[in-house]
Copies of this chain bind each other. A is one copy, B any other.
Amino acid sequence: MRIAITGAGGFLGRRLAHALLSDPRVERLVLADLAPVPSIAGDARIVPLAANLAEAGAGESIAEGADVIFHLAAVLSGQAEADFELGMGVNVQGTRRLLEAARAGGRRPRFVFTSSLAVFGPPLPPVVDDGTAVHPQSSYGTEKAIGELLVSDYSRRGYVDGRVLRLPTVCVRPGRPNAAASSFVSGIIREPLHGENAVCPVDRGLELWLSSPRAAVSNLVHGGSLPPEALGTQRTINLPGITVTVDRMIASLAAVAGPGAAARIEFREDPAACRIVSSWPSRFDVRRALALGFTGDTEFGALVRDFMADEAAEKAVTQGRR
């Protein structure tokens, strides 16, 4: 099985690569990103590839010979809102180019596209399900919704075997803040755990729809493994998540790391981020996803403990290398 990942240098891309390499059936794993992705533990199956989907020919080099393509590369919500042309160029044109390249090989590869709860916006029903109309309130959400339509039509026409996975906001992300409007969702947990201050730009009563990195990666792998018959004509799936308020997240942080950690969060409203994140739904009916074998998290405290365990494990590996 030959696999390609776009956005492979990102946090989810790297985690997904690790997960896929644990499967001995994987013969080749192309890791595509703007800059070459650092090789993972010298695994000979890895092919690093520097490719920019805004440029001609990039799609072809990524898709060549692939049985499965995970298309994770995207300009994130904050940046796509600030730079409309960049977002449209990468998130729409780039996705179209990659789909064309995947189609051109005539192999009908599996095409796993990561979409987002950002395709939804008010007025929202109390619970979002598979029949809920998209109504994006950001250019990022618009571009993801267009990508969903393209993947579905390319699948219907038999050009690719597509799967659209709508991810909840992933928390806790490691590393530094990124260009997503939801960057703070991880920041308010991660920074205090590192002894740093964090800013929360939204009201503490705001409800969020979250997934742990573990569940997200496991669901991506599962999405790539499902037989096409399981999906039929409905290629878009709302992935499982948990509904939690900012207040509840902070209480969990305090429970795990003490009240001092929670005290490091300063509330300072950012209207731009607030407007985008508040437009996203926080309650979903995910019975179809669960029936298809996708999995979710149980409670937010586990997400905090997972993050701490992952960081400790990484630290041990890094120290072991020295």
Contacts and interface: CB of A to CB of B under 8 A. Distances in A.
Interface of A: 84, 121-123, 125, 130-137, 139, 142, 145-146, 149-150, 152-153, 156-157, 233-234
B125 A139 contact: no
Given A142-B152, A149-B146, A153-B142, A134 B136 contact: no
Contacts of A84: 157
B139 A157 contact: yes
A142 B153 CA distance: 7
In the A-B complex, list the 3 residue pairs whose CB atoms are closest, starting with the nearest: A142-B153, A133-B133, A142-B149
Q: What number of copies of this chain does the assembly contain?
A: 2
Contact of A150 (B122, B142, B234): B142
Contacts of A234: 123, 135
Contacts of A149: 134, 136, 142, 145-146, 149
Contacts of A146: 146, 149-150
A289 to B, nearest CB: 15
A130 B131 contact: no
A168 to B, nearest CB: 18
A133 B136 contact: no
